[in-house]
Structure 1
Amino acid sequence: MTRTTTWIAAVLVGVLALGGGFGLRWLMDARDTVSVTGTELGAPFALIDQNGETITEAAFTGRPSLLFFGFTHCPEVCPTTVYDMDTWLRDLDVAPDAVGAYFVTVDPERDTPEFLREYLEPQSDRILGITGPPEDVWEMARSWRVYWQKQSLGGDEYTLDHYASIFVLNDEGRVVDLIAYQEDPESAKAKIAAVLG
């Protein structure tokens, strides 16, 4: 590679990185205007919780919420995140009804309400599982711009790659922050405390 080619490549990488930074800043600055019933993130839905009851986007209003998309056959990210969410809320001494915490499956073909309940109840009495007819669940996940992708393990077996951050919502259902997978616990708790006021 010539010196000129190296210089051009470095400039291009810098421009792309700078553009990506501006794009990320724009997204984070815009997050306060995003609503679950708006066109940016989230849309009205009618699904089923782990107890077989109907649940809609109204569950995300009236109190702050934590919203996570995962699946019960997940080997590491999902059980870790469920544990973390429950631990943060207990460490903050948040009353069970003061913050909603939701686990939306992106694997509704396997994650029935009963399966979700059996998965979540031993880990947390604060986190409510959400599932439903596959197309309805996937439409809801798409409205949140959540990524997931099936990965074959051979035969009928599969796993899923998926978005791993937690959405932090205020009491109007607006996204005010994100908690990354394995984020520092004190940082995560500060984001939850901030939305509690």
Structure 2
Amino acid sequence: MAITTRTYAIIAATAVVAGLGVMWLATNSQQAQPESTDVFAQCRQGVVSGAGAIGGAFELVSETGATVTEKDVITKPSLLYFGYTYCPDVCPLDSTRNAEAVYLLDDRGYDVTPVFISVDSARDTPELLAEFTDIMHPRMIGLSGSEEQIKAASKAYRTYFKVQDPSDPYTLIDHSTQTYLVFPDTGFVEFFNRDVTPEDMADRVACFVDAWKTTQPGGAQ
């Protein structure tokens, strides 16, 4: 059967309509895709592999001598760092950087708690921790505990530490050096490497805190 000009026109029009329908479905399908539920997406500088597995419960001994859990310690946005007071260079520098960032945040009206978790169960007594943290920042909380308690907290945050020579009273301890940003209930949201400046840390933490506040009763403050 011969195909008339009119038939060609109908076929062409049908194709156009079908094409428009596909485009409409594709566009609306994209629009229907749920947006990211990560309220911190705009604050992140990269994807943290296995972020959901970082953080969790711990039981440690405070610089006051009291046994505490993460619920006692992380009552506000907090910066957690694992180190030890006998550390000759890295820990004092990192802790000073964290304290400086918190001071900058203080000036902007952000209440962030710096936390120092010692991995040195043999030497870091509550008294030594209190002396160390008081030098760094008046709100810095020092935590330590038994070898088992420290290992459990370190495992929860996927950190690493190894005492070089347990028999040496002056031994050094190899350890990871990231600082972790955590929120009450929410838990871990980001980590900061050693090369992050106090100013950059303060800016990024402020972004996370602002986003976190929107999830709290009453919204952003």
Q: Quick check: TM above 0.5?
A: yes
Distance 1:115 1:185 in 2: 25
> Paired residue for 1:105?
118
- Which stretch shifts more, 93-102 or 137-146? 93-102
> Paired residue for 2:84?
71
> Paired residue for 1:116?
129
> Paired residue for 1:58?
71
Cα distance, 1:70 vs. partner?
A: 0.2
1:43-63 CA deviation, whole Å, 9 max, x = no partner? 322221101122101135442
The percent of aligned pairs where both chains have the same amino acid is 27
Instruction: List gaps (5 residues or longer) in structure 1.
Output: 1-24, 35-39
> Paired residue for 1:28?
48
Distance 1:185 1:43 in 2: 26
Does the C-alpha gap of structure 1 residues 96 and 68 become closer, same or farther in structure 2, counting only changes over 3 Å? farther
Does the C-alpha gap of structure 1 residues 104 and 153 become closer, same or farther in structure 2, counting only changes over 3 Å? closer
Q: Which amino acid aligns with 1:136?
A: Q
Which structure: larger Rg?
2
Preserved CA contact (<8 Å) 1:46 1:54: yes
Distance 1:137 1:183 in 2: 26
> Paired residue for 1:84?
97
Preserved CA contact (<8 Å) 2:57 2:156: no
Does the C-alpha gap of structure 1 residues 135 and 27 become closer, same or farther in structure 2, counting only changes over 3 Å? farther
Number of aligned positions between the proteins: 166
Does the C-alpha gap of structure 1 residues 65 and 53 become closer, same or farther in structure 2, counting only changes over 3 Å? same
1:1-197 pair list within 5 angstroms? 28=48, 30-31=50-51, 34=52, 40-59=53-72, 61-93=74-106, 98-152=111-165, 155-197=168-210
Instruction: List gaps (5 residues or longer) in structure 2.
Output: 1-44, 211-221
Distance 1:122 1:67 in 2: 17
* TM-score (norm. length: structure 2): 0.66
> Paired residue for 2:38?
none
1:53-78 CA deviation, whole Å, 9 max, x = no partner? 22101135442110000000111111
1:17-66 CA deviation, whole Å, 9 max, x = no partner? xxxxxxxx9961653xx3xxxxx223322221101122101135442110
Cα distance, 1:91 vs. partner?
A: 1.6
Alignment RMSD:
2.6
Q: Which amino acid aligns with 1:67?
A: L
Q: Which runs of 4+ in 1 moved over 6 A?
A: none
Which secondary structure state, in structure 1, belongs to the residue aligned with residue 164 of structure 2? strand
Distance 1:104 1:66 in 2: 11
